Amino acid sequence: MRTRMRASPRNARARADAVWRSPEHRGSDLIVSIIVPTLNEAEIISETLQRLHRDFPDCELIVVDGGSCDATPDLASAYARVVTTAPGRAGQMNEGAHRTRGDVLWFVHADTVVAAHALQQIREALADPGIVGGGLSLRFDRRTPSLDYLARVSTLRARHLHHVFGDQAMFVRRETFEYLGGFAPLPLMEDLEFSRRLHRAGRMVVLPATSTAASRRLTAHGTLRMIAFMQYLKLLFLTGVSPERIQLRYQAGPGVVLPSLPGRSRIKHPHRVTKEKPHGD
């Protein structure tokens, strides 16, 4: 009777090595599927998909909509295959992985701009069978000292601590993604949780190519306050606070948790964050 090998990250690496060392799976031959989760992104989705379709014409492109109330699905259908599922970024990305056929899964947020040469760097990196995935270097669509600092720290953190967030256009080998069971069904921090498991399954890389993220959610509440707020949320997650409790803190907004910073007046009626999720830095 044959003894079944116990599943472990080490065994996953061994199986991956056997597959990815074969000639048919060298980096330049890999099929890449771009998965874009959306929810009420009608204002930006056409521009995003036009760019992805233009810059990466040989990639499979799919939009997974979480039940938008606007024209997002109709607009997206002009450029990509559109599927609809329940809202929740983790579930949407898992559904996209299930509906695609690529050797590599590349998760791109609707409000990010990835460099045109990123695909070449991904394929070159994955020519090394020991690399299971990674992300891009972070930038923001505005240049300020605080945003530049956050981008540099985020990229360094991803390279040295292997904490890759969604704004960094995470990519992963399909075999590894499926072995790990995809993203956990968390209301937030699903990218941080997955990248920690991904690191245990093999080597990760942060490529020089950039992912330019929208800064609107940072600047709307004050950049320094939002940086501190996101660090606070990440600390809660890393110390074992449940994602449901963290979500409640997030929905309360930075003004409740961090009502004021030195040199700034106290806000009596803080705006509440209701839609977008934190970058998590």
What is the C-alpha to C-alpha distance for residues 170 and 109, in angstroms, rounded to an integer?
10
What is the C-alpha to C-alpha distance for residues 171 and 131, in angstroms, rounded to an integer?
11
pTM of the model: 0.81
What is the C-alpha to C-alpha distance for residues 80 and 52, in angstroms, rounded to an integer?
10
SS3 63: strand
Q: Mean pLDDT, 10 residues at a time, over the chain (281 residues)? A: 41 44 59 98 98 98 98 98 98 99 98 98 97 98 94 96 96 98 96 97 98 90 87 92 90 71 39 44 47
Q: How far apart are the first and last CA of the chain?
A: 50
* Phi, then psi, of 209 in degrees rounded to 5: -55, 145
Q: Is the torsion defined by CA of 187, 193, 195, 197 positive or negative?
A: negative
What is the C-alpha to C-alpha distance for residues 173 and 231, in angstroms, rounded to an integer?
29
Q: What is the pLDDT of residue 50?
A: 98
Nearest to 104 by CA among 52, 171, 179, 53: 171
DSSP annotation of 240: T
Structural domains in the chain, CATH included, are 12-214 (3.90.550.10), 217-281 (no CATH)
